[in-house]
Amino acid sequence: MSSVDQQLEELKGEIEAELPADISISDVKYEGPELVVYTRHPKKFARNGDLIRKLASKLRKRITVRPDPESLSDPREAKERIREVIPEEAGVTDLDFHADTGEVVIEAAKPGMVIGRHGSTLREITQEVGWTPEVVRTPPIESSTVSNVRNFLKQERDDRRDILERVGRQIHREEMANDQWVRISTLGCCREVGRASFILSTAETRILIDCGDKPGAEGEVPYLQVPEALGSGANSLDAVVLTHAHLDHSALIPLLFKYGYDGPIYTTEPTRDLMGLLTLDYLDVAAKEGRTPPYDSEMVREAIKHTIPLEYGDVTDIAPDVKLTFHNAGHILGSAVSHFHIGDGLYNVAFSGDIHYKDTRLFNGAVNDFPRVETLVLESTYGGRNDYQTDQEDSERKLVEVINETHDKGGKVVIPAFAVGRSQEIMLVLEEAMRSGKIPEMPVHLDGMIWEATAIHTTYPEYLRDDLRDRIFHEDENPFLAPQFNHIDGGEDERQEVTDDGPAIILSTSGMVTGGPIMSWLRHLGSDPDSRLVFVGYQAQGTLGRRIQNGWDEIPINDRDSRNSGRSSTLTLKMDVETVDGFSGHADRQGLEDFVRTMNPRPEKVLCVHGDERSVQDLSSALYHDFNMRTFAPKNLETFRFK
Amino acid sequence: MSSVDQQLEELKGEIEAELPADISISDVKYEGPELVVYTRHPKKFARNGDLIRKLASKLRKRITVRPDPESLSDPREAKERIREVIPEEAGVTDLDFHADTGEVVIEAAKPGMVIGRHGSTLREITQEVGWTPEVVRTPPIESSTVSNVRNFLKQERDDRRDILERVGRQIHREEMANDQWVRISTLGCCREVGRASFILSTAETRILIDCGDKPGAEGEVPYLQVPEALGSGANSLDAVVLTHAHLDHSALIPLLFKYGYDGPIYTTEPTRDLMGLLTLDYLDVAAKEGRTPPYDSEMVREAIKHTIPLEYGDVTDIAPDVKLTFHNAGHILGSAVSHFHIGDGLYNVAFSGDIHYKDTRLFNGAVNDFPRVETLVLESTYGGRNDYQTDQEDSERKLVEVINETHDKGGKVVIPAFAVGRSQEIMLVLEEAMRSGKIPEMPVHLDGMIWEATAIHTTYPEYLRDDLRDRIFHEDENPFLAPQFNHIDGGEDERQEVTDDGPAIILSTSGMVTGGPIMSWLRHLGSDPDSRLVFVGYQAQGTLGRRIQNGWDEIPINDRDSRNSGRSSTLTLKMDVETVDGFSGHADRQGLEDFVRTMNPRPEKVLCVHGDERSVQDLSSALYHDFNMRTFAPKNLETFRFK
Ligand SMILES: [Zn+2]
Ligand SMILES: [Zn+2]
Ligand SMILES: [Zn+2]
Ligand SMILES: [Zn+2]
Ligand SMILES: [Zn+2]
């Protein structure tokens, strides 16, 4: 018997010892980080309200109880009973019974009403029908991403269960290593912005954190080929952790599966969906630009199939010696500060991922409170000595001014924006400004994937700022549903109409003007001196956005997207160019310092990454001088040992 | 045609273009770093004295010319002619003809006389017989190691030629990597003394430097299993470089072959032989102590077969982007400061290995003069703030005093010493002290491998200090042949005789009292209050030597070696314990600082390794403060990137 089987056998014994005599256990299995307990008496189990909690705390495991397939009630009857138990207003849109696991997936407009106070409605369901309910939200704005992901996972259920069982056994394997150490290897994102990728390794375990591309630098990908990365095969990794869905962190995650990786990806549920959206678009863009994409869409599906979503605050075993906890990072939907607790008190490392320290309209500020943390790997996008950003209040005032001026001239405001994050923040600003009369009502056109990204936001309101979340799901005053917002889904024809029409605001991808519909908007409006191009986000070195910001006004326009396919020409930019900073999804220099200053506990060491050479150096020496901690500005391809 | 074949074809063309019409080339091959040119007209080639030098400088390659096997003269006739050409006094002891390569190996007591002024005699030989002569020294003291190695290599000639050809093609392969970087990974020897092991890597090439064990800490071996080491297989290494033969640098070199390594080991010729001696002894000791040795003697032979010996000062291509040059390190016979020139001007790294900065009786001081060097990896054995050692002059005075006192009391002086290095230094001190009457004539018994190690020293006088070398091979006053020196080759009986006899000096291994005949001498003389135990070398933490130095006088003696096999008992040490420092093979704190201060050019970065935690930290901060360079005290398992 393998050590894991033996362990499960023992756990089964311990559980049985805790249970009343009339509740029996038919099987105990690992599925990913969870211990799944199959019982022939699911209803009795559910009636014994505290049982699961008691077991979980006794065994120090996350426990899920499921009915033994033998003891399932008839789905048709169960369906009726469930409909009776759940209040009408919950807006159930789908019930999906899975006899293999005894689970019923309930899709509802208001999941909270399906769950009930402290889960009371869920428990009632099990007491009534024996099935284990699982609840998901019906997207308030229809999202093809969300429904594709859900359908795909439904279809791949069997496969996925095999994966989870394999991963579960891997996580709970016996520790093999005699040695103890903790190391971080840098595979990208050092003294540069882009290609985020790190390996956190112990003698027992190897974890890849992020695997992104570098905007504006096609060939520069993470150093996956070096020995300490995938040199001995992609399956030398135990786990992949994704901090958030931006392509500079996620673009090459699917590539790992092409390289033969077959293990879990830990991330939040919204990041999983956004990663699906953004990586598929990444493949599209590559194809459109005539580049050979590094992988195909099949690999994106593999990534989604291997994702184990975690919620903020869940402490999760991801290896025999590593526990992972995600915390809100305030940067984009689902973005996570990733905290690793290693070796039962041996060491703690937090990767900030990308963070925003202050609250924004969209998100609460980044969490910097941990049980313990010795080393922090900190983004430094705005770590430079002078990288103080305007307060968002002032920025909003400036944006309102710019919009009003442009409106008065009869021009249009074109805002290049990342589909994910800044677009929604600006949408909230615009919605409020129009509602309160600070700017005139006018159409706000959303081009590229912004609409779809917004739909995903509304699917996961738990990840938004508290009051916004409440507006979305308690009060039915979802600002994203405001009538000004128009989805550009009519292509060039619709863009031409908008161009010919009156004042409007256009939010369009890509955020750094490296391609996408923004190129088309530049063609349409670039030569209109009454219109404005307004940058609201970070422009990386080497991107066209950065060049325009720096004053370039002769812009190479590839006409591929337009009707004169394939021709290349130069556009003389006549529209005003403005930068309204303060909307960045990144903490500015002050925010980064505040994040560290108020961090609890204060880390001993900080590695400053994800910033230009100057930014990481400046931040590193500032933190060293101000807080007397050991700070580093690593290079790519280094390995730091902490323990 | 492979790129290497094409390259060889081109080289052949270039060579032919340089040669007079009456000299023809039949083949051009790589053998290790050398380009071997086969000619049908070896005699004419040899008559054209400057030809080889001109070719070498034109092609920027090391060139060897050999006769085409078709054009060889009869060995019997050749033998006679060679005997006539070489002066009688050269003392030729063997002539060995190899028809496969057209080489004749000439073993002679005085190789210099076979070579002649600027190689004139060698050239004369080829002009006369066509064969290519190769000269080796007949050991003045018979050495079983040297003769075993030579016989083994003779027997494995074919195999070795295959290896050299393979390695040669590997070295001269086309560069594959697009990227450029230079990194050092630490696999051992950081904040500790022992298990020296580093990987120097570029995008193209991976080189392992040293692979030793850790005295006094059996299980602590270099971290070979981590991904950046042999994680993707032992053949992911391009080359192994061995700085010197001490086991803390060499013990696990043969293990690499058990792991499947099949590439070259670059080291000096004496280091190759000493490595053979010491690793075979290492296996012996393990077996005697009932441990399973990590490899068997077959692997030692593999290591010897794969060794490509280099001389000090030879600049050698060992990879498409790496040139290696050894320089005298002054530490033990054949020890080398290893200088790596990377990527045609990209970067230079020097590994000090173990060094002694000042001249000693045995060796010139370490070389610290290089064309360029940006990073120095520096040993720090005596890097501690107070690790100043007595001047050797004073130390010798003290040793003389201790010997005289002990002699007067009728006691014996027991000196634990490494077989290699310190023993020979002390032998030189004793020989001179007796010759000049500073101490009375008395027997000096050499126990353990000291005799054999001394024989190896006399085989390679070119590696000894200039004046000692001259004494050994020009003037026939070899101090190692002094009649006081007695080889203990009669085991316990002889030791008992020595014990029962009058005053004497005993030099015995192991140098840190971790086993070997020194244990027997402690049993024999440990309880004699008139005798003295004198430490003259570094005692590592965890060794019995260090404990005795620290005052332990209850010594566990395992009687395994004696007649009461297997019993363990405790010996109360009654002999005086003295430490006479200043004979160390290692630079002291002053020497290390001087090495860096006078280094030309001054390196930008220094990694302090091969020292206790305190020593590396002290040295690192001292070098930083005194010379304003970037200094580090790495941990094991880190990777530093320099370029
Ligand atoms: Zn981001
Ligand atoms: Zn980022
Ligand atoms: Zn040494
Ligand atoms: Zn050493
Ligand atoms: Zn040493």
What pLDDT digit, counting tens, does each position of B464-477 carry?
A: 999 999 888 765 78
Question: Which pLDDT score, from 0 to 100, does residue A46 have?
Answer: 86
Asked whether residue B429 carries a pLDDT value surpassing 60, the answer given is: yes
Q: SS3 for A66?
A: strand
Does B206 contact A at CB distance below 8 Å? yes
Strands (DSSP E) found in B289-384 = 307-309, 315-319, 322-328, 336-342, 347-351, 375-379
Does A392 contact B at CB distance below 8 Å? no
Q: From the CA of A617, how far away is ligand 3's center (Å)?
A: 39
Of A181, A236, A638, the CB nearest to B227: A236
Q: From the CA of B250, how far away is ligand 3's center (Å)?
A: 9
Does B259 contact A at CB distance below 8 Å? no
CB pairs under 8 A between A and B: 52
Question: Which pLDDT score, from 0 to 100, does residue B557 have?
Answer: 76
Q: Are B218 and B291 in contact (CB under 8 A)?
A: yes
Report residue B285's pLDDT band, with 50, 70 and 90 as the boundaries: confident
Does B231 contact A at CB distance below 8 Å? yes
Q: From the CA of B248, how far away is ligand 4's center (Å)?
A: 5
Residue of chain B minimizing CA distance to A202:
B226
The response to whether A445 counts as a known ligand-binding position is no
CA distance B227 to chain A (A): 5
Tell me the C-alpha distance between B338 and B188, whole Å.
17
Tell me the C-alpha distance between A87 and A89, whole Å.
6
Average pLDDT over residues A429-452: 96
Which candidate, B550, B553, B487, places its Cα nearest to that of B522?
B553
Q: Which residue has the higher pLDDT, B237 or A61?
A: B237
Average pLDDT over residues A590-603: 97
pLDDT tens-digit map of B583-623: 888 999 999 999 999 999 999 999 999 999 999 999 999 99
Question: Which pLDDT score, from 0 to 100, does residue A636 have?
Answer: 97
Question: Helices A3-18 & A51-59, crossing angle to 10 degrees?
Answer: 140
Question: Which pLDDT score, from 0 to 100, does residue A542 have?
Answer: 86
Average pLDDT over residues A556-575: 70
Question: Which pLDDT score, from 0 to 100, does residue B558 have?
Answer: 67
Does A635 contact B at CB distance below 8 Å? yes
> Which ipTM did the prediction report?
0.83
* Complete domains list, chain A, with CATH: 3-70 (3.30.300.230), 76-138 (3.30.300.20), 159-171+180-386+586-641 (3.60.15.10), 392-579 (3.40.50.10890)
Report residue B300's pLDDT band, with 50, 70 and 90 as the boundaries: very high
Does B598 contact A at CB distance below 8 Å? no
Does B228 contact A at CB distance below 8 Å? yes
pLDDT tens-digit map of A302-356: 999 999 999 999 999 999 999 999 999 999 999 999 999 999 899 999 999 999 9
Q: Which residue has the higher pLDDT, B497 or A119?
A: B497
Q: Name the percent of chain B lying above pLDDT 90.
A: 81
Question: Which pLDDT score, from 0 to 100, does residue B556 have?
Answer: 84
Mean pLDDT (chain B, rounded): 93
Of A183, A231, A636, the CB nearest to B232: A231
Q: From the CA of A585, how far away is ligand 1's center (Å)?
A: 7
**How far from B444 is each of B412, B448, B471, B506, CA to CA, in Å?**
10, 13, 21, 6
DSSP calls for A257-285: HHTT--S-EEE-HHHHHHHHHHHHHHHHH
Asked whether residue B562 carries a pLDDT value surpassing 50, the answer given is: no
pLDDT tens-digit map of B384-412: 999 998 889 999 999 999 999 999 999 99
pLDDT tens-digit map of A11-24: 999 999 989 889 99
Q: Give contacts of A637 with chain B, Cβ < 8 Å.
A: 181, 183, 639, 641
Question: Which pLDDT score, from 0 to 100, does residue A421 have?
Answer: 86
Average pLDDT over residues A599-604: 96
Hunting for tokens 């630079």 — which residue is that?
A: B587
Q: Give contacts of B206 with chain A, Cβ < 8 Å.
A: 227
Average pLDDT over residues B315-339: 97
Pick left, alpha or beta for residue B515 (phi over 0 → left; psi -120 to 50 → alpha; otherwise beta): left
Asked whether residue B264 carries a pLDDT value surpassing 60, the answer given is: yes
Q: Give contacts of B236 with chain A, Cβ < 8 Å.
A: 227, 231
* The two structure tokens encoding residue A32: 């990913």
Average pLDDT over residues A354-377: 97
Question: Which pLDDT score, from 0 to 100, does residue A100 have?
Answer: 87
Report residue A474's pLDDT band, with 50, 70 and 90 as the boundaries: low
CA-only gyration radius of chain B, Å: 25
DSSP calls for B66-119: EE-GGGPPPHHHHHHHHHHHS-GGG-EEEEEEETTTTEEEEEES-HHHHH-GGG
Which candidate, B607, B609, B586, B542, places its Cα nearest to that of B190?
B609
The response to whether B474 counts as a known ligand-binding position is no
Q: From the CA of A332, how far away is ligand 2's center (Å)?
A: 10
CA distance B633 to chain A (A): 12
Instruction: Return the number of other C-beta atoms located less than 10 Å from residue A579's C-beta.
Output: 15
Yes or no, beta carbons of B232 and A227 under 8 Å apart = yes
pLDDT tens-digit map of A257-313: 999 999 999 999 999 999 999 999 999 988 988 888 999 999 999 999 999 999 999
Q: From the CA of B249, how far away is ligand 4's center (Å)?
A: 6
pLDDT tens-digit map of A512-543: 998 889 999 999 999 999 999 999 988 888 89
Tell me the C-alpha distance between B38 and B236, whole Å.
32
Report residue B563's pLDDT band, with 50, 70 and 90 as the boundaries: very low
Hunting for tokens 């050495």 — which residue is that?
A: B143
Yes or no, beta carbons of B228 and A232 under 8 Å apart = no
Of B227, B636, B640, the CB nearest to A228: B227
CA distance B183 to chain A (A): 8
Tell me the C-alpha distance between A456 and A472, whole Å.
13
CA distance B612 to chain A (A): 17
Tell me the C-alpha distance between B178 and B31, whole Å.
27
CA distance A585 to chain B (A): 31
Does A236 contact B at CB distance below 8 Å? yes
pLDDT tens-digit map of B196-209: 999 999 999 999 99
The counts of H helices and E strands in chain B are 21, 28
Q: Are B340 and B184 in contact (CB under 8 A)?
A: no
Mean pLDDT (chain A, rounded): 93
Asked whether residue A599 carries a pLDDT value surpassing 90, the answer given is: yes
The counts of H helices and E strands in chain A are 21, 28
Asked whether residue B561 carries a pLDDT value surpassing 70, the answer given is: no
- Least confident range from A492-506, B355-369, B569-583: namely B569-583
pLDDT tens-digit map of A221-231: 999 999 999 98
Yes or no, beta carbons of B637 and A639 under 8 Å apart = yes
Q: From the CA of B354, how far away is ligand 3's center (Å)?
A: 5
Q: Are B579 and B535 in contact (CB under 8 A)?
A: yes
Provide CB contacts within 8 A for A521, sequence distance 6+: A414, A447, A495, A506, A508
Of A206, A233, A639, the CB nearest to B639: A639
CA distance A568 to chain B (A): 30
* The two structure tokens encoding residue A212: 């992104």
Average pLDDT over residues A429-455: 96
